[in-house]
Amino acid sequence: MSMKKILLFFCMIFLPLVLAQEADSTGTNPPLTDSTATTATAPDTTVTESAEQPAVDTPVTQEKPQAETAPTKVFDPSFRDLSNLSPKEQRLEKIYRNLEYNTTAFNDLKKTWIVTDPVYVREIYNRFVVKNALTIHGVKPSAEVLAQKSKDIYDGNVFVELRKRYYDDEIEILRFFTESKLITKDSSDYFFDEIRDYVFIKSILGDDMYQDLKKQFYALNDLTKTTYDNKYAYNYDIYFHIFDPELMFWNTTTDQRNKYLVSLIGRWGNDYVSLPGWYYPDYIVGVKVTYIDYLINNRPNNTYIIEMGTGIQARQPVLGIEADEISKRLFHTGASLYFKAQGNPVKLFMEDMLDIDLTIEGMLSLTQYKTKDFNLGYLTQFYSQRNHFTFFAKKKELVNFEDIGALGVGLGISSYDIYHFLLDPDQLKLTDLETNNKGKFKNNLLAEVSLAGEGGLLAHNLTTLFSYDYTESYGFLGFKMFFMLNNTIGFDFRYFTSYRFSTKPLPFYRSSSYLVFSPVIRINY
Amino acid sequence: MKKSKVIAGILLTSLVFSYCTFGQTIVRRTYSKIEKKLAEDKNYLDVYSAMFQTSQVKLDGLSNIPRTNDKPPFNFSAAETNTYEIIFMKENAEFDSLVVLEVKETVDKAASTGDFFGTSSSEQSKEVNMVLTFQDVQELYFNHPEFYDALYKLTEHLIDLNEPVKLLGLKVDEQVNKSRGITSKNNQDFLNFQLSNSNHHYPKVAADTQKKSRRSRGQTPTTTATDFKIDASFGDVSFFYKDLDLGYSTVSGEVNMGAKVLNVQPWQAMSLTAGIRTLVTLSGSSQNLLEDFIIDAKLMGRTRLNTSKLVKSLPFVFVSETPKLNVGSGFILDLSATRAYGLPFFNFYLATGATQSFAPSVKYVDKNGDLVACFTPQQWESSMSFYWNSSEEMTLRFRMDLGVAGYSVEKINYTTGGPITQIYNQVQPTVSLYMNFAPKNVDFFGSTFRLFDNQLTVKLWMKLLEFSTDHSFRFETSYISAPMMRPQREWENPDGTSFVTIRYRYGF
């Protein structure tokens, strides 16, 4: 009886070792972990290493490998737990993975791709099967497990992910993974351990196949990350936009990291009086001064803007998409002064004040053209918009929806005048056909909702602007869409459509809808 | 009972044996992988070497060093022809001290043969042997730490004596990447552009990249190798002689048949412009072209030249009609200045002349049937230049000029005999985009796109030949489009015009 117990005891110990030996005898390569993963989780090991060198004791007895915290296997189950290795194996593994020049900082920038050619995947897979180089958690898979995994290969669900080294063209990681065809979420399963080190990968694949794999002459998906940066730079900023061009050409920085920027600007259109883009008779040219209260590299902290300019006659392009005839446009009839101020003035004194931007914008006509300035020899009449004023308050970030953007809301009022002139070539001056000055001014209530997102590759701004002219009982609903890719190229689209609460028709100088658009190009260094 | 003990003993022995065999197999394979890695991936390994001869150091504790794989113990040779190299890995994320990897021995056979003539030894006469492999060294660490410790201390001593040699083959300093293009904060971009595109002498600055120019304290211009510099094409000629280099200023001359601002080709402008150009640097005690305020100024005179009949027969100018716009005589001021007080690079051009007394080269019959002539007495342009490069290597170089320009046109009606009347005088925006392709700082290709007065001008040049570094030939072509999105004016050509030339540059 005792003999049986002894035999049973040794069988329980002996058998697992035999199985483990079988795994090792086929030459499996224990997969390596990222040095950073190990570093982050094994600070004690490095402390132990430094105590080894003076050779006070034998390294085997002195080396006290600490139990390393295993990397999170949920994301990458191929990482091997070094605490299962002997001290000797641990040291050798660490030397092996620290021989190469460390390029951990560039891991996400290294060329990465996935081989999707199912026949080529089989070729690669077979090389590893023949050389017995595949492991699962450091252990060679049995024949049954291998056969089961091979079924995924037959179904064409297995792909090979490869990553090249940063400074040269060699493949540093190769790993097999499978994905479900019906993907509702990421179903990647790295069902074999990843294989590292190009020398080892080349020895398994053979030189010819390895070189062929590097050339990428097969079906693949390129996963290499594209780097981009869209942070604003302050050397100069060339912003091409038909309606809002800007050229920032000078800047200075004060002691408290405040910045002053000076820009030349152009402004064509006024959304707050529902005359967007080229439907506005004046093209404003002027100067803009921007004050940034304490510069943070990611974005300006608080920005205050002052703009001054003058209007010049603008020629309205005819694109054939206008809702109404060209005769309903407005005309430029004199020199004017444009001004705009924007910012949160209260925040200058009270830091905790709500982050609301106030905008005061207006244009005052200073002169009126004479009849001869129009160079017309016949009697005619036309409309002109000469003065306007807007007050608007906007909270840009009412609610933050992370990647979608920030919801902003704004309220305001605007007022503009409309002159009805008669041009008689025999008269010196234009004749104002509306003698009642009060009737000239139209007052609008404004409400705006916007969804804006910046940062990342794509910046966007989707705005709905509601305006209601309570003097004329009609209004406009404006939809504005702005997109910018990599802070370099974009598109701006604005559409305004009218609505009425009475049977009174729209004024003659108004179109039922306005559609304007502009490409956007930015060069910012 | 005895039998059971024997069986238990056998099982226990088997257990221990298989465990040891299993562990040794893993270790052996790891040794093999690492040694293969050390042999085949030298370029990418972050390892160092320290070299010594036995006469230079004390080898305490380093005799009869045991080795693996039945190799005999190793002893360092005292021969003068033998040099030893210890390969080691410095401390890193997982090791707080250096790790000795291998030891190599180099035997200089040429010296050992006692060559009478003392011929210097070549690589073929040197024999390199791996005397202590990676496995040997690590087995010392584990099993004979006193030897490893002696090797370790020797390595540290060698590091104290001399900086170890880095065996990493990567030139990581040359492969520093940035995600965005760059623009220089000084005159580097301006000078690069002028050296490629200007037809006048510009002193070369020995600064290839932004990185190098930041490190240098001052950039003095390199001396010119030739006495003359000549730039000649079918439309213009410029020349410079070394004696006109006054140190703080250079003077060169130019003759050209074109007219800036106006959308006309050379010879089509019906004028001849000649004058001098001076490059002035305003610097402190020492000249530093990268930081100095530089003014490039041309003072030219222009006279009318009737090329109206010639222009249609010249093989390198392609115009569909006889030119109608006479360019008036006068003087020209063309200025370019580098950044002052943080402002951008600035350009100003002014051509002005008499507006009353004028004898046109070309008259034509207008749509009313009257014999008329149009001429332009004044042209001007004011712009700011902005430079940027696609990368630090400055392979693709860009410049954008943004500004305003204008010209006036006056008309004389010879049929009615009325006074000269101004029929056109508008200020319009102008945009120019320049792109140069200069791989490894060698100018190869350039292009210009200019939009002004609803006409697009495209200029392209490409280097054709260059020999003896002084002579170069470029092929250039220029195309000016017909007016776009506006009606054609009476003095304008209804179709696009082209100009083709070969440009010879000597001494540039």
| pLDDT, tens digit (0-9, with 9 covering 90-100), for B60-90 | 889 999 999 999 999 999 988 999 999 999 9
Chain B segment 21-60 residues within 8 A of A by beta carbon are: 21-23, 25-27, 29-31, 33-34, 36-38, 40-41, 43-47
Of the candidates B253, B311, B353, B323, the one whose C-alpha atom is nearest the C-alpha of residue B492 is B323
Q: Which of chain B's residues have a Cβ under 8 Å away from the Cβ of A488? A: none
Are B475 and B461 in contact, with CB atoms under 8 Å apart? yes
Confidence at residue B437, expressed as pLDDT on a 0 to 100 scale? 96
**Crossing angle for the helix pair A198-205 and A207-215, nearest 10 degrees?**
110
Q: Which of chain A's residues have a Cβ under 8 Å away from the Cβ of B400? A: 238, 523
Strand arrangement of the beta sheet that strand A419-423 belongs to? A330-331, A380-384, A419-423, A431-432
* Predicted confidence band of residue A396 (pLDDT cuts 50, 70, 90): confident
Are A125 and A143 in contact, with CB atoms under 8 Å apart? no
Q: State what percent of residues in chain B have pLDDT above 90.
A: 58
Per-residue pLDDT at B19 exceeds 90: no
| Lookup: tokens for B124 | 């073929």
Are A37 and A79 in contact, with CB atoms under 8 Å apart? yes
Q: Taking the alpha carbons of B302, B307, B308, B314 in that order, is the dihedral positive or negative? A: negative
Mention every residue, 6+ apart, whose C-beta is less than 8 A from residue B341.
none
Instruction: For residue B15, give the 3-state DSSP assignment.
Output: helix
| Lookup: tokens for A8 | 């049973």
Q: Which of chain B's residues have a Cβ under 8 Å away from the Cβ of A84? A: none
* Predicted confidence band of residue B11 (pLDDT cuts 50, 70, 90): low
Q: Taking the alpha carbons of A24, A26, A27, A33 in that order, is the dihedral positive or negative? A: negative
pTM of this structure:
0.78
Of the candidates B437, B456, B448, B445, the one whose C-alpha atom is nearest the C-alpha of residue B396 is B437
Are B309 and B260 in contact, with CB atoms under 8 Å apart? no
Q: Any alpha helices (H) in B162-312, and if so which ranges?
A: 188-197, 210-215
C-alpha A343/C-alpha A307 separation (Å) is 12
Measure in Å the smallest separation between the Cα of A14 and chain B Cα atoms: 6
Q: Between residues A418 and B26, which one has the greater pLDDT?
A: A418
Overall average pLDDT of the B415-440 stretch: 92
One-letter amino acid of B97:
S
Q: Which of chain B's residues have a Cβ under 8 Å away from the Cβ of A14? A: 11, 14-15, 18
Instruction: Note the pLDDT tens digit of each residue in B487-501.
Output: 899 999 889 999 999
| Lookup: tokens for B408 | 């006036």
Confidence at residue A42, expressed as pLDDT on a 0 to 100 scale? 33
Per-residue pLDDT at B387 exceeds 70: yes
Which residue is listed with tokens 């390294």? A59
Cβ of A92 within 8 Å of Cβ of B27? The answer is yes
Ranges of beta strands (E only) in A41-153 are: 112-115
Mean pLDDT check: name the lowest of A295-304, A390-399, B380-389: A295-304
Cβ count within 10 A of residue A44: 13
Per-residue pLDDT at A318 exceeds 80: no
Per-residue pLDDT at B1 exceeds 70: no
Per-residue pLDDT at B424 exceeds 50: yes
Chain B segment 137-156 residues within 8 A of A by beta carbon are: 138, 141-143, 145-146, 148-149, 152
Q: Which of A32, A99, A132, A253 to mutate to test the interface with B (most CBs of B within 10 A)?
A: A99
Are B260 and B298 in contact, with CB atoms under 8 Å apart? no
Q: Which of chain B's residues have a Cβ under 8 Å away from the Cβ of A18? A: 18
Cβ of A247 within 8 Å of Cβ of B342? The answer is no
* Predicted confidence band of residue B26 (pLDDT cuts 50, 70, 90): confident
Confidence at residue B13, expressed as pLDDT on a 0 to 100 scale? 65
Per-residue pLDDT at A174 exceeds 70: yes
Angle at A161 between CA A158 and CA A166, to 5 degrees: 175
Q: State what percent of residues in chain A have pLDDT above 70.
A: 77
How much is the mean pLDDT over chain A?
Answer: 81
Which residue is listed with tokens 């305001």? A412
C-alpha B265/C-alpha B319 separation (Å) is 9
Measure in Å the smallest separation between the Cα of A257 and chain B Cα atoms: 17
Per-residue pLDDT at B212 exceeds 90: no
Per-residue pLDDT at B20 exceeds 70: no
Cβ of B183 within 8 Å of Cβ of A91? The answer is no
Q: Between residues B208 and B477, which one has the greater pLDDT?
A: B477
Confidence at residue A495, expressed as pLDDT on a 0 to 100 scale? 96
Confidence at residue A320, expressed as pLDDT on a 0 to 100 scale? 64
Cβ of B170 within 8 Å of Cβ of A168? The answer is yes
Q: Which of chain A's residues have a Cβ under 8 Å away from the Cβ of B146? A: 55
Q: Which of chain A's residues have a Cβ under 8 Å away from the Cβ of B172? A: 101, 167
Per-residue pLDDT at A39 exceeds 50: no
Chain B segment 91-130 residues within 8 A of A by beta carbon are: 92-97, 99, 101
Confidence at residue A70, expressed as pLDDT on a 0 to 100 scale? 38
Measure in Å the smallest separation between the Cα of A158 and chain B Cα atoms: 28
Cβ of A25 within 8 Å of Cβ of B94? The answer is no
| Lookup: tokens for A289 | 């001064």
Cβ of A35 within 8 Å of Cβ of B400? The answer is no
Q: Which of chain B's residues have a Cβ under 8 Å away from the Cβ of A13? A: 15
Confidence at residue B304, expressed as pLDDT on a 0 to 100 scale? 87
Confidence at residue B111, expressed as pLDDT on a 0 to 100 scale? 64
Confidence at residue A55, expressed as pLDDT on a 0 to 100 scale? 33
* Predicted confidence band of residue A86 (pLDDT cuts 50, 70, 90): confident
| Lookup: tokens for A134 | 């595949």
Chain A residue with minimal CA distance to B152?
A53
* Predicted confidence band of residue A75 (pLDDT cuts 50, 70, 90): very low
Cβ of B34 within 8 Å of Cβ of A95? The answer is yes
Q: State what percent of residues in chain A have pLDDT above 90.
A: 46
Are A97 and A88 in contact, with CB atoms under 8 Å apart? no
Measure in Å the smallest separation between the Cα of B189 and chain A Cα atoms: 13
Measure in Å the smallest separation between the Cα of A53 and chain B Cα atoms: 7
Instruction: For residue B486, give the 3-state DSSP assignment.
Output: coil
Name the DSSP class of A65.
Answer: P
By CB neighbour count within 10 A (0-12 exposed, 13-18 middle, 19+ buried), where does B386 fall? buried
Instruction: For residue B53, give the 3-state DSSP assignment.
Output: coil
Strands B445-452 and B421-437: antiparallel
Strands A380-384 and A388-400: unpaired
Per-residue pLDDT at A115 exceeds 60: yes
C-alpha A157/C-alpha A187 separation (Å) is 11
Chain A residue with minimal CA distance to B22?
A21
Confidence at residue A145, expressed as pLDDT on a 0 to 100 scale? 87
Are A346 and A357 in contact, with CB atoms under 8 Å apart? no
Measure in Å the smallest separation between the Cα of B505 and chain A Cα atoms: 33
Cβ of B37 within 8 Å of Cβ of A197? The answer is yes
Per-residue pLDDT at A225 exceeds 70: yes
Angle at B67 between CA B66 and CA B70, to 5 degrees: 115
Q: Does B19 touch chain A (CB under 8 A)?
A: yes
Per-residue pLDDT at B267 exceeds 70: yes
Cβ of A88 within 8 Å of Cβ of B36? The answer is no
C-alpha B233/C-alpha B463 separation (Å) is 13
Mention every residue, 6+ apart, whose C-beta is less than 8 A from residue B1.
none
Q: Which of A53, A131, A254 to mutate to test the interface with B (most CBs of B within 10 A)?
A: A53
| Lookup: tokens for A337 | 């002064």
Measure in Å the smallest separation between the Cα of A497 and chain B Cα atoms: 28
Across A50-59, b (16+ Cβ under 10 Å) vs e yields eebbebeeeb
Nearest to B384 among A39, A203, A249 (CB): A249
* Predicted confidence band of residue B290 (pLDDT cuts 50, 70, 90): confident
C-alpha B203/C-alpha A416 separation (Å) is 59
Q: Between residues A302 and B266, which one has the greater pLDDT?
A: B266
Ranges of beta strands (E only) in B290-370 are: 293-304, 317-318, 325-327, 330-337, 345-352, 364-365
Q: Taking the alpha carbons of B110, B111, B117, B122 in that order, is the dihedral positive or negative? A: positive
